[in-house]
Amino acid sequence: MSKGTAVITGAANGIGQAYAQRLAADGFDIAVADVVDASTTRGLIEATGRRFFSALVDVTSPESTLQFAADVAANLPPVVALVNNAGIYPWKSFADTDYALWRKVLGVNLDGAFLMSKAFIPGMKERKLGRIVNVASSTLWLNVPDMSAYIASKGGVIGLTRALASEFGASGITANVIAPGLTNTKSMRSTNEEIFEFLPKLQAIPRTLEPTDLVGVVSFLCSPDSAFVTGQTVVADGGQARL
């Protein structure tokens, strides 16, 4: 029996795909919004016996996100969990970050979480049940250069999450953040391979962080066990950042 639908953005591959696999194992049907085809994720989810829906979605577009919400409602059980995972992370110095890039990063990383929340919170509020998990980054608490737009966007994600927690707690909706550290994904490796040589050595757990190291946190934050946890940020980076 399905626990309802979990929506995950940016889950065609990488960390989002790992979240989708874990939540399917937990009993959720899965809906994926991404800018690329999610057929690989479909195969992984349907192999577990869970239902799956995906669409090409621009998370910076109100029209695209609202249409996706309507399509999910027409194809899957009611949405009870939303994981805003889609993000971009260009390594650019402040001097090389022009306004167009600044707006693009904030558009995907922060506006995307806002618009997806706008699309799915009304149904959660009506049913008085919802789990929102927004993805930030432990870079907020570290000395990381050349990521001004990215770090600003992730600070905004935490602020948005706290505001949602305050506004919708009485409606049975929780909103929390997972803040991963440097994670071993194909896209991150292709962006900055060198950092994997030294950064894990600075962690209390001195090894490379894998997507599977993160899924338990998201599983908990989407579960009934987290019903009294809201407005919180859980850092999952091997103990490098300390809150």
| Per annotation, catalytic residue among 19, 89, 99, 150 | 150
Closest CA to 140 of 175, 178, 179, 114: 179
Residue pair 11/19 in contact by the 8 Å Cβ criterion: yes
Is residue 99 part of the annotated active site? The answer reads no
**Neighbouring residues of 4: CB distance < 8 A, sequence distance ≥ 6:** 28, 29, 77, 78, 79, 80, 81
d(CA 40, CA 47): 11
**Judging by beta carbons within 10 Å of its beta carbon (0-12, 13-18, 19+), is residue 30 exposed, middle or buried?**
buried
Active site members? 150
